[in-house]
Amino acid sequence: MPLHEDQVREVLKKVIDPELFVNIVDLGLVYVVDVIPRPGAPEEYDVKIEMTLTSPMCPAGPQLVSQSKQFVGELPGVKQVDVKVVMDPPWTQDRMTEAARDQLGIF
């Protein structure tokens, strides 16, 4: 069964920001997820992720990147995971889901 972006985003919900206690998907930190089939290797994939941080000096950044690579790398067929941290566009609270807003008490 082919791997889809939605599956990757779902597993990224296991990555919890240690300061806000909300997952990185609901926080709106994950901008791009590309699932790239490997040529000549059916059901093998490379995954490229572009994500941001709540602030450029976020102390949890290395942990969030490491956990993202770990959890996505555990998906069946994933051979390589590349996580790129970008700061453009900058993160704002507008990127959060309603679930994250509720969890943080932001109305």
Assigned domain for 103 exists: no
Structural domain including 48 reads: 5-36+44-93
Instruction: HSE, CB side, 13 Å, CA atoms: give it for residue 24.
Output: 32
Q: Is 59 helix (H, G, I), strand (E, B) or coil?
A: coil
Reply yes or no on whether the pLDDT at 107 is more than 80: no
Assigned domain for 99 exists: no
Question: Residues near 5 by Cβ (< 8 Å), separated by ≥ 6?
Answer: 33, 34, 35
Q: What is the Cα gyration radius of the chain?
A: 14
* CB atoms closer than 10 angstroms to residue 1: 7
The share of the chain scoring above pLDDT 70, in percent, equals 100
Per the prediction, the chain carries an average pLDDT of 95
Mean pLDDT value of segment 93-105 = 93
Reply yes or no on whether the pLDDT at 106 is more than 90: no
In tens, the pLDDT along 33-68 reads 999 999 999 899 999 999 999 988 889 999 999 999
Q: Beta partners for 49?
A: 33, 83
What pLDDT shows up at residue 25? 98
Q: Assess contact for 50 and 40: CB atoms under 8 A.
A: no
Count of structural domains within the chain? 1
User: Which CATH number is 88's domain given?
Assistant: 3.30.300.130
Assigned domain for 105 exists: no
